[in-house]
Amino acid sequence: MRTFIAINLDPEIKKALSLLIEELDKGHKNIKWVRHEGMHLTFKFLGEIGREKVPEIENVLKMVSKKYDSFSMKFKGTGSFPSGMKNPRVLWVRIEDEETLTALQSQLEEELEKLGFPRERRKFHAHLTLGRVKSLFDIKETLSLLEKYRDRNFGEMKVEKISFIQSTLKPTGAEYSILSEFELK
């Protein structure tokens, strides 16, 4: 089973970001946009795991979630990876730096490493992916609009739980199902 750990987004945030994607999408097929139901903030992609690993991972999530209070997450500004608009591969909305978010992600990395999941080599940059660029052909207008929103506020939500999610790949795209959720204290 293919799994990851994430924060699911409130419906209001998903709606605001879906409207942004509608505006950015100029009908070309050179960007694969994230679907409304697939919007979440990924903490850690675990990949393929056996069912026997599920209880171990859930124990880590239970232990870590008890150490953190709920917190606010603010969605503000747009950008791309790599940064700059010359050769983007990922288009995103920034999540303003929140100490609890960064600490929670770091602790999850540390604890999951003990279970054999390698640490992410790249530094954690809190963001929500809007789309993945397949080709730079004919996306100039989209990139121009993305730049226009680099300081725009897209909303705020209270994070009260983290989710352990299964991702099933289908021809129509990934389908997500929540395996378990863990309340923050």
Residue 127 a catalytic site member: yes
Going by the DSSP 8-state scheme, the letter that residue 28 receives in this structure is: -
Q: What per-residue confidence (pLDDT) applies to 143?
A: 87
pLDDT in tens, 28-37: 788 999 999 8
Among 28, 36, 40, 125, the active-site one is 40
Q: How far apart are CA 158 and CA 142, in angstroms?
A: 30
Among 28, 36, 125, 127, the active-site one is 127
Phi and psi angles of residue 40, each rounded to the nearest 5 degrees, phi first: -165, 160
Q: What per-residue confidence (pLDDT) applies to 26?
A: 78
Low-confidence ranges of the chain (pLDDT < 70): 84-85
Q: What per-residue confidence (pLDDT) applies to 122?
A: 86
Q: What per-residue confidence (pLDDT) applies to 85?
A: 63
Walk me through the domains of the chain, giving residue ranges and CATH numbers. Answer: 2-183 (3.90.1140.10)
Residue 36 a catalytic site member: no
Which residue shows structure tokens 């960007």?
31
Burial class (CB in 10 A: 0-12, 13-18, 19+), 29: exposed
pLDDT in tens, 98-127: 899 999 999 999 999 999 999 998 888 899
What's the angle, vertex CA 38, arms to CA 108 and CA 151, rounded to 5? 80
pTM above 0.85, yes or no: yes
